């Protein structure tokens, strides 16, 4: 009898533990997804009918989905709502929605890029029709839902975030982060929106030994992004050094570098994404073109089965180290196609 009770108790405890273990992540996922949807609905509620019709698109609106660029909005027009056309509370709701989808450091990076464009507007004499924080656009594809897939686009000059939400998944690919100026000051504080992407990469290439560098450093110049805007669905042959030829410390440095892009999205989605990238790390390549002294302009590319990252200084408008373009893709899951396919029969 005692034994039976013990068994029953331990079974109950075991079941409770299993349920807790199983449900905890689900509840956590649900709460992140729910918070994002609540933020989206708050933003949509803050708009009038006319604004809502401008910001909402069908989830499968391919033309809108592909309407992103590194170029200023006056040259490559975006659809959706312009931040400068929103009232204070509406703008606050829009930024709260964005913040709910991103990690703290991801959100800070995005703000630094936007404020960099504002600095460019001021440096251009404030003529302001081409640059500045008012010229970023927001759009929503599909209906915000914890169940069905939908997407948020936020971008303007030097920024294109395409965030597909599928349940608790947050897919950030393809996205473009860029910066010009790549370094500026606000209240005496230096801001480098893509500073970590630069410094961590230089640290990695300098951590390679001579033989590894021979493999990693390409013998040719790379003038621009190869798989930038307009190159959806394409993958190129990888080059450089394969991660399997790196030691554990170098591999950790590469993962940390990748985290600068993969970690932009909210922490839970970022953790899943990093686990996926880590699983394919031995098949991931790192290629470098240019000098290896930090402070000099150098291009690099990270390419694996589920990730493509390019970092390309631009020889335009002066010092290339002050004008950076980057692209972040997943050849298997751009715009969440893999996640959506898994979800939708």
Chain residues that interact with other proteins, rule: CB under 8 A: 70-72, 75-76, 120-121, 124-125, 127, 130-131, 157, 180, 218-224, 226, 230, 234-239, 315-318, 323
- Distance of closest approach, residue 314 Cβ to other proteins, in angstroms: 8
DSSP letter assigned to residue 83: G
Residues 327, 309 contacting (CB under 8 angstroms) = yes
Nearest CB to other proteins, comparing residues 126 and 345: 126
Nearest CB to other proteins, comparing residues 263 and 331: 331
Nearest CB to other proteins, comparing residues 22 and 77: 77
Nearest CB to other proteins, comparing residues 59 and 299: 299
Cα dist from 92 to 89, 97, 123, 266, 288, whole Å: 5, 9, 26, 19, 40
Burial zone of 10 (CB within 10 Å; 0-12 exposed, 13-18 middle, 19+ buried): exposed
Nearest CB to other proteins, comparing residues 128 and 195: 128
Closest CA to 93 of 50, 30, 134, 47: 47
d(CA 211, CA 219): 14
- Distance of closest approach, residue 237 Cβ to other proteins, in angstroms: 5
Q: What are phi and psi of 75, to 5 degrees?
A: -100, -35
- Distance of closest approach, residue 286 Cβ to other proteins, in angstroms: 15
Nearest CB to other proteins, comparing residues 4 and 220: 220
Cα dist from 33 to 36, 37, 168, 197, 304, whole Å: 5, 6, 5, 28, 28
- Distance of closest approach, residue 214 Cβ to other proteins, in angstroms: 14
d(CA 299, CA 313): 6
DSSP letter assigned to residue 138: E
- Distance of closest approach, residue 8 Cβ to other proteins, in angstroms: 53
- Distance of closest approach, residue 254 Cβ to other proteins, in angstroms: 20
- Distance of closest approach, residue 42 Cβ to other proteins, in angstroms: 34
Cα dist from 45 to 30, 49, 215, 307, whole Å: 22, 9, 54, 36
| DSSP characters over 272-331 | HHHHHHHHTGGG-EEEEES--SBTB--EEEEEETTEEEEEEE--SSS-GGG-EEEEEE-T
Within 8 A by CB and 6+ apart from 188, the residues are none
CB atoms within 10 A of CB 288: 25
Nearest CB to other proteins, comparing residues 26 and 316: 316
- Distance of closest approach, residue 280 Cβ to other proteins, in angstroms: 13
Residues 106, 263 contacting (CB under 8 angstroms) = yes
């Amino acid at each position: 009898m005692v034994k039976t009770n013990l068994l029953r108790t331990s079974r109950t405890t075991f079941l409770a533990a299993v349920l807790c273990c199983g449900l905890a992540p689900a509840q956590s996922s649900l709460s992140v997804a729910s918070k994002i949807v609540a933020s989206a609905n708050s933003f949509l509620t803050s708009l009038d009918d006319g604004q809502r019709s401008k910001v909402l698109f069908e989830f499968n609106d391919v033309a809108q989905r592909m309407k992103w660029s590194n170029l200023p909005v006056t040259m490559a027009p975006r659809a959706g709502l312009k931040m400068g056309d929103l009232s204070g509370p509406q703008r606050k709701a829009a930024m709260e929605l964005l913040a709910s989808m991103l990690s703290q450091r991801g959100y800070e990076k995005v703000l630094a890029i936007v404020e960099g464009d504002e600095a460019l507007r001021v440096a251009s004499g404030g003529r302001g029709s081409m640059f500045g924080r008012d010229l970023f656009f927001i759009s929503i594809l599909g209906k915000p839902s914890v169940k069905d897939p939908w997407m948020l686009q936020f971008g303007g000059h030097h920024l294109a975030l395409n965030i597909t939400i599928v349940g608790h998944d947050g897919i950030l690919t393809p996205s473009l982060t860029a910066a010009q100026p790549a370094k500026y000051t606000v209240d005496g504080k230096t801001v480098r929106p893509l500073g970590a992407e630069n410094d961590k990469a230089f640290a990695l290439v300098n951590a390679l030994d001579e033989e590894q560098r021979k493999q990693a450093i390409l013998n040719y110049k790379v003038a621009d992004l190869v798989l930038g805007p307009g190159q959806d669905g394409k993958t190129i042959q990888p080059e450089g050094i394969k991660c399997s030829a790196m030691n554990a410390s170098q591999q950790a440095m590469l993962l940390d570098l990748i985290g600068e892009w993969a970690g932009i999205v909210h922490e839970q989605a970022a953790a899943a994404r990093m686990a996926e990238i880590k699983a394919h790390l031995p098949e991931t390549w790192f290629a470098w073109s240019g000098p290896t002294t930090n402070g000099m302009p150098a291009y690099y590319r990270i390419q694996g089965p589920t990730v493509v990252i390019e970092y390309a200084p631009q020889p335009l408008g002066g010092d290339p180290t002050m004008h950076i373009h980057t692209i972040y893709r997943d050849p298997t899951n751009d715009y969440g196609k893999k996640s959506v396919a898994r979800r939708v029969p």
